[in-house]
Structure 1
């Protein structure tokens, strides 16, 4: 290949193998884990070639096997032309393992950094890439953040190829599409889109592609980077991408017409569009009887509102609306607060902030002692605060109900959003009473109606209301009644069941002749 300019000579490799190796060493800063083996063939003295790889990224067994395979290749009768020898090796290796050719340094470096082995030939201005990346990763284990009693126990790992395997193992259909792209100017992170053709809406898939293509950042370390960079309303702290560690949950989303985004290096897979109701549902809802699942889902929605409103309602009632409290309860509350020096708002704020610190400490502490520290700390601090007269016993009950209800929210991102809104409602309750709480709820609902998840309204199918699509929201109807996929998300193939033409009694099938 001819070099037409100085810029081109800096891009494409040279025919001089020593020049190529010198430049490679300089560009990598003479890193000690870059292995360069220069070899001169015993059968053909004119054949000089080198295999190059990064020791920390390749599979050692693959490298050893590759060396033994190449040792069996006889170059004795080959031509003295390097291009012909290159073609011989190019035709020889595909039968053993994946290989491809290249011409420029950018492709060469990308191959090395991906764990492949590169072969250079003296006198040849192209190179050969042979797959040799290591498959070492964490084994498939039970998810830590999505535990279930009944259902699959497999969880995603940090290896994107294994995660694709776990999904393909459950969807044995040629319509399942996988599209790979590289994001991050420095990290070169592999990101994969997965969707089912005809079931996923083409407009949504194309919109996600466009948003991912527009990302300009030096590195992607987790799916949270993707979510923050391409979400519709970047200032909203409500999650619009559903993350999951469970392959069955992701497969269920794909069957509804949603798109999965897999990021190499993380065990969480994003699915989008994600609706408000999706964050209060779990995969186990579909593995139990629909009546039991509906009741448990109703309790989750109740826990959502308890987490959001219990502290604010208590502050508003005890501060501004004592007449709404039953007399006996009011007398009991007044007796408990007799020695408390702080108003209800500051009392609740102190306890809620203390609990959030204990929760964070329990997460960051070593796993063996974290739960013990958080539980014992809450009990000891609560009891000591009551005895010291800093807070009332009723406030301990209020904070406990709020904390327990927050743990019933299955999605951690949604739980974080509710916790933030809870503090805002507490402040409004302390200033304006129930009027402030209702005003805060109105603003929250208007905000939820405004935001979208990749062009799909967040409150679908409640607002906008889609007739016939509320069979799997707050309650779960039997599976045989959910014959169509969600409207607005699914593509042309919106039916969950295969249409079959019934055979009449007069049209009995004839026995097959063998």
Structure 2
């Protein structure tokens, strides 16, 4: 009981110090005692005592592994520990002359000292000074800029975001060299204090949209934010919907293109995925590469993507419905061949489809979770071996294996992983409806999904725009990808107050003959 009481007193003391703002004192020992109490049992926090000019007591506080030790020695400790000149105006002016650090910030409270040390900036405290200095010497291990694994392209930039927000912001600024590119930073997470940045183009982004994004982020009250998905679920309009309402991307060029359309980009420290809002179903089906190839080829690929989008959702359901209820829809020779192949299969078509789909999803997840060297081999060889063994054992029929394989290939054509995962989830209730009601069940399922999509909004923008509500002007980037000289206006719902993104008469006008 005594141990519990002492522990509770210590917890209450910590909580009280966290809640109250403690200004720094001119007594160096008191300041160090307060900071040591907060960093109790933190072996990686270093308290380095030394004398400035051999006369004035000072304390350097930093976290091992977060600060640049070499610069700390050469730019701070070495010059400050040298003998102080006899004639000097003040300690602060002398320190300004000696410290060769680019960024120095004054701190006035214990909480500010804690915040800066956790960011990797060492704190310098001096005797008889009621303020400290935060030295911009943060340095930690970071990943190099590489090609994004989840959004590979044949033609286009090969740079992808990393887990450091400052590098991600620099990658965007390299593409948009304009002072109108603005950022608003904030900290989210009681314990994690994760840095989050709102990026937008002033003059292109609607102020109402910007204010709504800012308000939703400010309302978040959570212990920690470790990935952008934490924030995505807390700010989207319909969190119970399986459809993603915020676009996640690893590509700086995709963020730059969205900013030029008047959208808002949200960057989160610790993750390579940026969030783009608002988004639509059309945006989730578009790829950056659509705009890096000739418009005729991009249009053809886009049509192919729309076709396989429907197949990835409906192909197993159509197969089950036809075999169970609508055999007359299939040519006689084909239905007889399918019936012969299913002669030794003991299960109805719906059970057969569910078995194969669950097995295929398990193989896909195994391929993702296993190390890269063996993941692809396991998923491919496993699918071949299990499929062939299931056919020989009479558990499934060859047409069903072909349907499931084609469905898997169709799902890989969807450029956004989270949208593909949504279709994988909806495929199962669609198969159950097809196995119980046939084509009528498929139509019922499609009607429910379409009704749900019509009700969705992403920061007030209809999810099915420009198809619903219909906008003729936006059709040039919906069913087709029009040439750039026709894409003269921004999307209506995000850039209507600054609609034109290029000058008039951009269409090439080649000279005829020898003129």
TM-score, normalising length from structure 1? Answer: 0.92
Whole-Å separation in 2 of the counterparts to 1:164 and 1:491:
26
- Say whether residues 1:156 and 2:161 are aligned partners: yes
- Which blocks of at least 5 consecutive residues in structure 2 are unaligned? 1-15, 506-515
**Counterpart in the other structure of 2:49:** 38
1:75 positional shift: 5.4
**Counterpart in the other structure of 2:502:** 497
Whole-Å separation in 1 of the counterparts to 2:272 and 2:52:
45
**Counterpart in the other structure of 1:326:** 331
- Say whether residues 1:13 and 2:19 are aligned partners: no
- Say whether residues 1:132 and 2:132 are aligned partners: no
- Say whether residues 1:24 and 2:30 are aligned partners: no
Kept in 1: contact 2:466–2:475 (CA 8 A): yes
Question: In the alignment, which of 105, 112, 124 is matched to residue 110 of structure 2?
Answer: 105
Kept in 1: contact 2:186–2:197 (CA 8 A): yes
**Counterpart in the other structure of 2:72:** 63
Whole-Å separation in 2 of the counterparts to 1:72 and 1:149:
58
Name the stretch that deviates more: 29-38 or 168-177.
Answer: 29-38
**Counterpart in the other structure of 2:91:** 85
- Say whether residues 1:177 and 2:182 are aligned partners: yes
**Counterpart in the other structure of 2:84:** 74
- Is the alpha carbon distance of 1:39 and 1:72 closer, same or farther for their aligned partners in structure 2, counting shifts above 3 Å? closer
**Counterpart in the other structure of 2:463:** 458
Whole-Å separation in 1 of the counterparts to 2:114 and 2:353:
57
Question: In the alignment, which of 249, 252, 275 is matched to residue 244 of structure 1?
Answer: 249
**Counterpart in the other structure of 2:452:** 447
1:61 positional shift: 2.4
For residues 139-218 of structure 1, what are the structure 2 equivalents within 5 Å?
Answer: 139-218=144-223
- Is the alpha carbon distance of 1:379 and 1:396 closer, same or farther for their aligned partners in structure 2, counting shifts above 3 Å? same
**Counterpart in the other structure of 1:504:** none
Query: Secondary structure of the residue that 2:35 maps to in structure 1?
Result: helix
The C-alpha deviation readout for 1:67-93, integer Å capped at 9, x for no partner, is 2343468353347xxxx524653x447
Kept in 1: contact 2:488–2:503 (CA 8 A): no
Question: In the alignment, which of 216, 220, 223 is matched to residue 225 of structure 2?
Answer: 220
Query: Secondary structure of the residue that 1:11 maps to in structure 2?
Result: coil
Whole-Å separation in 2 of the counterparts to 1:376 and 1:9:
61
Whole-Å separation in 1 of the counterparts to 2:345 and 2:21:
76
**Counterpart in the other structure of 1:509:** none
Kept in 1: contact 2:347–2:395 (CA 8 A): yes
Kept in 2: contact 1:86–1:121 (CA 8 A): no
For residues 371-382 of structure 1, what are the structure 2 equivalents within 5 Å?
Answer: 371-382=376-387
Name the stretch that deviates more: 415-424 or 21-30.
Answer: 21-30
- Say whether residues 1:428 and 2:433 are aligned partners: yes
- Say whether residues 1:416 and 2:421 are aligned partners: yes
**Counterpart in the other structure of 1:270:** 275
Whole-Å separation in 2 of the counterparts to 1:73 and 1:131:
24
- Is the alpha carbon distance of 1:53 and 1:268 closer, same or farther for their aligned partners in structure 2, counting shifts above 3 Å? same
The C-alpha deviation readout for 1:175-194, integer Å capped at 9, x for no partner, is 00011111010011011111
- Is the alpha carbon distance of 1:78 and 1:491 closer, same or farther for their aligned partners in structure 2, counting shifts above 3 Å? farther
Whole-Å separation in 1 of the counterparts to 2:57 and 2:35:
17
Name the stretch that deviates more: 386-395 or 22-31.
Answer: 22-31
For residues 285-300 of structure 1, what are the structure 2 equivalents within 5 Å?
Answer: 285-300=290-305
Query: Secondary structure of the residue that 1:488 maps to in structure 2?
Result: helix
The C-alpha deviation readout for 1:269-304, integer Å capped at 9, x for no partner, is 111111101111111111111000000011011110
Whole-Å separation in 2 of the counterparts to 1:9 and 1:319:
70
1:429 positional shift: 0.6
Q: Which has the higher helix share?
A: 2
1:462 positional shift: 0.8
TM-score, normalising length from structure 2? Answer: 0.91
The C-alpha deviation readout for 1:308-345, integer Å capped at 9, x for no partner, is 10000111111111121211111111111111110100
- Is the alpha carbon distance of 1:499 and 1:396 closer, same or farther for their aligned partners in structure 2, counting shifts above 3 Å? closer
For residues 383-402 of structure 1, what are the structure 2 equivalents within 5 Å?
Answer: 383-402=388-407
Whole-Å separation in 1 of the counterparts to 2:381 and 2:446:
34
1:158 positional shift: 0.8
Query: Secondary structure of the residue that 1:468 maps to in structure 2?
Result: helix
Query: Secondary structure of the residue that 1:210 maps to in structure 2?
Result: helix
Query: Secondary structure of the residue that 1:128 maps to in structure 2?
Result: strand
1:40 positional shift: 2.2
Kept in 2: contact 1:315–1:429 (CA 8 A): yes
- Which blocks of at least 5 consecutive residues in structure 1 are unaligned? 1-5, 501-514
The C-alpha deviation readout for 1:180-218, integer Å capped at 9, x for no partner, is 111010011011111101111111111000000000111
Kept in 2: contact 1:202–1:491 (CA 8 A): no
Whole-Å separation in 1 of the counterparts to 2:21 and 2:371:
51
Whole-Å separation in 2 of the counterparts to 1:292 and 1:198:
33
Kept in 1: contact 2:101–2:136 (CA 8 A): no
1:123 positional shift: 1.9
1:64 positional shift: 2.0
Query: Secondary structure of the residue that 2:184 maps to in structure 1?
Result: strand
Whole-Å separation in 2 of the counterparts to 1:76 and 1:275:
69
1:55 positional shift: 1.4
1:455 positional shift: 1.1
Q: Give the CA RMSD over aligned residues.
A: 1.8
Whole-Å separation in 2 of the counterparts to 1:329 and 1:41:
91
